[in-house]
Copies of this chain bind each other. A is one copy, B any other.
Amino acid sequence: MNFPFKEIRKKLLAGDFSGLFRISKDNGNSFIHPSEVAKLFISIPAEKAIEAFKSFQAEQEVSVFPYLDNQLQKKVIGSLPKVRAVYILNALSSDDRTIFYSSLKGVELSSFLEFLNEPNKTALHKVLGYSDKSVARIINTEFATIESGMTIANAMEHLRNNHKDTEAANVIYVVDEDGRLIDDIPVRRFVLNDPQKKVEDILDGYCTSLKITDSKEDAIQKFKEYDRVVLPVTNDNNILLGVVTVDDVMDLQEQKDTAEIQKFGGIEELDYPYVKTPFFSLLKKRAGWLIILFLSEMLTATAMGGFADEISKAVVLALFVPLVMSSGGNSGSQAATLIIRAMALKELTLKDWWWVMRREFLSGLALGIILGTIGFIRISLWQQFHWYNYGPHWILIATTIFFSLIGIILWGTLSGSMVPMILRKCGFDPATSSAPFIATLVDVTGLVIYFSIAALFLRGTLL
């Protein structure tokens, strides 16, 4: 923290807003950084934040608004006098406006849409027509264009007269007379070259762009690959429609990874951060998958029921059920984690399935032998040192555990690696559905493997 967060927060809670402004030599009324103001607001009760918000001037409101979270944004717009809400919503940059409206639904959406002027409303309608997974939802339609025949000096003059000092002016786009994208120039290149040169002489011919129909995921990928801070977005005719900036892409990446982690933990993706998600909404997101998992795990009770005779003859078999099951589950979740993440990062594609299968087969076999051996030793030790008596046939029991662990871990590893690929192949999101599928598959079939191997080794002795 470069700024005294706690102090200002205390003042705010007491209704003193002076901490939000800093003293600068010619403007006693300028802000601390808008993101700092937003952070303070998010940390205090919404009513307090709205009260402080009302004390601002219009321009200040506009600069802070994009940094607030969705929930607070809605409350602020709902609480301000209509004329101010209208001002803010129309003055936002187009990407921030789209992001705000994308978070609204139903009545709220239609009532807040009325706050926009005609051009903004039309533009927003167009963008909201695209899937919320497409880059259209984060494009900024303010961008600076020039033509290639200009000199650098002309181009700079043109920019000075036509463009505001915003992030969007960091890269300038060269277009032809129909608005088709020719190349992009980082604005530094104007400064670093002789102003008498022509624009066309400082083009480098590398111009990567996104299509308006590309997914947000494509955008993340391209920013990482090309190390860019802004990328232009065009339609199918290569007409420049807007730009996507790296700050929005970083937020997307974080959201995407959070969703992946949550899905992997067996929770439906949350709409808000954990601390901001209302109790019942959170409960619903958790109960959904927990119930599905519970219902499918009920098959284990059915499977165990099928082996009730064996258990009653050899109770000792029941003792190792949790150990054997959890080993299968753990090896399955290791494999699934590796494969799902590698697919998300595009390191693996479906075409690699055969390579993955052979590799995971060997890994599973090796891991199974390692754990199987430990299990065998465990039983032998306990028996030798009289810590537990597995009866006269203890060596057969140890052998059963050895082979069961190999079978189950091999099976867990193969399921964990193949199920995500099969789900992807069938058009499902591998992260969402893998956990329950793999858990059930490995647990239920694991029990069958275990009791079958037991039958093989113990028939005629214990069974």
A interface list, Cβ under 8 A from B: 2, 22, 24, 30, 33, 35, 39, 156, 159-160, 163-165, 167, 169-170, 186-194, 205-206, 208-209, 223-229, 246-247, 249-251, 253-254, 257-258, 260-262, 264-267, 270, 273-276, 279, 282-283, 286-287, 289-291, 293-295, 297-298, 300-302, 304-305, 308, 311-312, 315-316, 318-323, 325-327, 329-331, 333-334, 336-339, 341-342, 345, 347-348, 352, 359, 362-363, 366-367, 370-371, 374-375, 378, 388, 439, 443, 447
Contacts and interface: CB of A to CB of B under 8 A. Distances in A.
B275 A352 contact: yes
Given A160-B193, A330-B293, A342-B274, A264 B264 contact: yes
B188 A322 contact: no
Contact of A265 (B206, B229, B338): B338
A146 to B, nearest CB: 11
A337 to B, nearest CB: 3
A305 B363 CA distance: 31
A251 B226 CA distance: 12
Nearest to A39: B225
A300 B257 CA distance: 34
Nearest first, the 7 closest Cβ-Cβ pairs linking A and B are A265-B337, A300-B322, A227-B247, A257-B257, A274-B342, A304-B319, A318-B318
B267 A337 contact: yes
A385 to B, nearest CB: 13
A315 B312 contact: yes
15 contacts: A35-B226, A160-B191, A160-B193, A165-B192, A224-B254, A249-B250, A253-B254, A260-B261, A261-B261, A261-B337, A264-B337, A267-B334, A290-B331, A291-B370, A311-B318
A425 to B, nearest CB: 18
Counted per complex, copies of this chain come to: 2
Q: Is the interface of A mostly helix, strand, loop or mixed?
A: helix
Contacts of A352: 275
Given A290-B331, A337-B267, A297 B322 contact: yes
A104 to B, nearest CB: 22
A215 to B, nearest CB: 14
A261 B341 contact: yes
A322 B321 contact: yes
Nearest to A274: B342
Contacts of A227: 35, 167, 247
Given A274-B348, A388-B305, A367 B290 contact: yes
Contacts of A300: 322-323, 326
A282 B359 CA distance: 10
A308 B300 CA distance: 20
Contact of A273 (B33, B258, B342, B443): B342
B337 A323 contact: no
A333 B265 contact: yes
A251 B265 contact: no
Contacts of A226: 33, 35
Given A191-B159, A282-B363, A334 B253 contact: no
